[in-house]
Amino acid sequence: MSAVKSVPPNQPVAKKSWGDAAKAYLDRRAIIMLFLGFVAGIPILLIFSSLSLWLREAGIDRSVVTMFSWAALGYSFKFIWAPLVDAVPLPILTKLLGRRRSWILVAQLLIILAICLMASVNPIDESSLVWMAVGAVLLGFSSATQDIVIDAYRIELAPPSLQSVLSAMYTAGYRLGMIVAGAGALYLADYFGSTETLYSYEAWRNTYWIMAGVMGIGVVTTLVIHEPVSEQVRVPRQTSDYTRLVLVFALSVVGFVMVFANVGAILPETESALWGFLIEIVHLALSLITALVIGYALVKVGLVKEEVAKATWVEPIADFFRRYGKKALLLLALIGLYRISDIVAGVISNVFYLDMGFTKTDIANAVKLVGVIMVIAGGFLGGLMAQKLRMMQAMMVGAILACVTNLLFVLLTYHQGSLPVMYVAVIFDNLAAGLASAVFIAFLSALTSIRFTAVQYAIFSSLMTLLPKVLGGYSGTIVDNMGYPFFFIFTFAIGIPILVLIYLVDKHIVIGDNDDIYGDSDDKLTKANPNLTDTKEPPRASE
């Protein structure tokens, strides 16, 4: 089924000068996203690197430490409960703050609760580790929920032409938040007196208390910002319908947890990394299938109305295919592959630098400092470029830079230990990654229907990293068998088909409101390319 034929815009979108494009970063909406991005970047490293170091200093086995990374699975599966965020209003808070701000506030309060719970546990007492795990899981779930709502808030806050600016500011804030929760937390723990040789629970407790306090910036931001104006038509439902929806989700999650916790003891153990990886996939797949079967069965027995369940979980996906028809497959292919070149290369980057003879200090200075600055700069540059060019032109530039800059690492293999060559590679690679990320987020935002903002963007953002991360898991094997030069040439080569996908999307589908789909003729009802698919969407926020 093809998309609905649209009515041309009343007025063409005015092309911005470079000065006007730069001024967009001073827009109040852009400043809002800087602050929201900052608090979104805080939780993730409190689950990963900072928590890992805390547990190691407390003498916890490495195998147990790595298991805590599973607490962040919520980031990968947030699309499962994103429909509830779109559909379910929160009692009292939704009337006071609005649908998006109320959910953001609740997620932030849960994040603070989770951090405080983790701070209250001394992991040196292994019997209390279960409470540390509960806090970490709650932190992963609540921070993923915050991401869902902030993404929806951003998309509803401004038109597609401004989304690249908002995404660049969000990314800048996110990176700053990660620095505070990563390097900042380690600095605080050291300042309060905890080291590898002399562990201090009080030092880490105080550090996590401070991180919880930093999240207060998000609470204040949420209370002072405005609710985006949405033209969505909400279908009113009874409170019992929402309660039953949440109950179905909760019971499905219980089923997932029970299977995940118990099936692991049945599955065989192996020393092989490959077989271990495949067994974990089976482990996770069985848990997910169980959750889906429980959810489906509960709908069939009438715990929740089938019509309500379909409207919540099925309709957002059906809407995407209705709008784009068969061309939706082309879009999904582009979403799943666009970041494959730089993500696959990035998986092994730190190991590569060590193998090239650089010290940890060299890597920290180049990657963690200069690299982060260049990612932020690339995001700002991508935001400027996306305002001046059509969406797919900006996507093409981002894709070319993302794969071509990988060839700089081939050059580094012939100049091992050379800091100047390393810095050139890091600077241009991170600049390209930041630019490509900004325009890609704007692209995903333009694809997202204003009717199902949270769930569709959550699906897109999960899909964009799925295949690259799976393929990235084999990067070490490729290097072991073929060497680093071949590997980076390979990551360059797999980026070339993406250019063809971008060309096909640009030829057949309208993306963004800065696309001139009617050409320069006087007859504004005649498309420059009759094959272009345009979609009828409710009005979004205007400039």
The answer to which of 101-110, 141-150, 280-289 has the lowest mean pLDDT is 280-289
Residue 173, domain member (yes or no): yes
The answer to which of 21-25, 218-222, 438-442, 493-497 has the lowest mean pLDDT is 21-25
Residues 151 and 31 in one domain: yes
Q: Which pLDDT score is estimated for 342?
A: 83
Model confidence at 388, pLDDT cuts 50, 70, 90, reads confident
Is residue 494's pLDDT more than 80? yes
Residue 452, domain member (yes or no): yes
- Taking phi over 0 as left and psi of -120 to 50 as alpha, with beta for the rest, 302 belongs to left
| Whole-number Å distance between alpha carbons of 55 and 173 | 28
Question: Which residue(s) pair with 533 in the sheet?
Answer: 509
Is residue 211's pLDDT more than 90? yes
| Whole-number Å distance between alpha carbons of 384 and 391 | 12
CATH of the domain at 391: 1.20.1250.20
Residue 210, domain member (yes or no): yes
Mean pLDDT of the chain: 81
Which of 53-67, 446-460, 514-528 is most confident? 446-460
Report the interhelical angle of 419-447 vs 372-388 (nearest 10°): 40
Is residue 464's pLDDT more than 70? yes
Residue 464, domain member (yes or no): yes
Residues 455 and 334 in one domain: yes
Which of these three, 181, 197, 226, is where a domain ends? Answer: 226
Residues 356 and 444 in one domain: yes
Residues 115 and 188 in one domain: yes
Residues 347 and 287 in one domain: no
CB 8 within 8 A of CB 328: no
Which of these three, 199, 226, 253, is where a domain ends? Answer: 226
Residue 10, domain member (yes or no): no
Which residues make Cβ contacts (< 8 Å) with residue 145, sequence separation at least 6?
74, 78, 81, 85, 103, 107, 110
Half-sphere exposure of 275 (CA within 13 A, CB side): 6
Which of these three, 304, 332, 359, is where a domain ends? Answer: 304
Which residues make Cβ contacts (< 8 Å) with residue 465, sequence separation at least 6?
339, 343
Residue 537, domain member (yes or no): no
Domain hosting 502: range is 319-514
Q: How many domains does the chain have?
A: 3
Is residue 15's pLDDT more than 70? no
Residue 134, domain member (yes or no): yes
Residues 295 and 380 in one domain: no
Dump pLDDT digits (tens) for 339-375.
888 877 876 777 788 788 887 678 778 877 888 889 8
CB 155 within 8 A of CB 82: no
Residues 262 and 380 in one domain: no
Is residue 507's pLDDT more than 90? no
Residue 498, domain member (yes or no): yes
The shares of helix, strand and coil residues in the chain, as percent rounded to the nearest 5, are 75, 0, 25
**HEC secondary structure over 220-287:** HHHHHCCCCCCCCCCCCCCHHHHHHHHHHHHHHHHHHHHHHHHHHHHCCCCCCHHHHHHHHHHHHHHH
Q: Which pLDDT score is estimated for 10?
A: 40
Burial of 508 (0-12, 13-18, 19+ CB in 10 A): middle
Residues 122 and 246 in one domain: no
CA distances for 315 relative to 311, 318, 319, 494, angstroms:
5, 5, 6, 34
CA distances for 401 relative to 343, 430, 432, 436, angstroms:
13, 10, 5, 8
Dump pLDDT digits (tens) for 113-161.
999 999 999 988 877 888 888 898 899 889 999 999 999 999 888 887 7
Which residues make Cβ contacts (< 8 Å) with residue 205, sequence separation at least 6?
119, 120, 122
Q: What is the mean pLDDT of residues 59-66?
A: 70
Residues 281 and 409 in one domain: no
Residues 429 and 325 in one domain: yes
Length of the chain: 543
Q: What is the mean pLDDT of residues 201-228?
A: 94
Residues 472 and 431 in one domain: yes
Report the interhelical angle of 340-347 vs 419-447 (nearest 10°): 140
Report the interhelical angle of 273-300 vs 239-266 (nearest 10°): 150
Dump pLDDT digits (tens) for 73-86.
667 778 778 888 88
Residues 412 and 494 in one domain: yes
Model confidence at 217, pLDDT cuts 50, 70, 90, reads very high
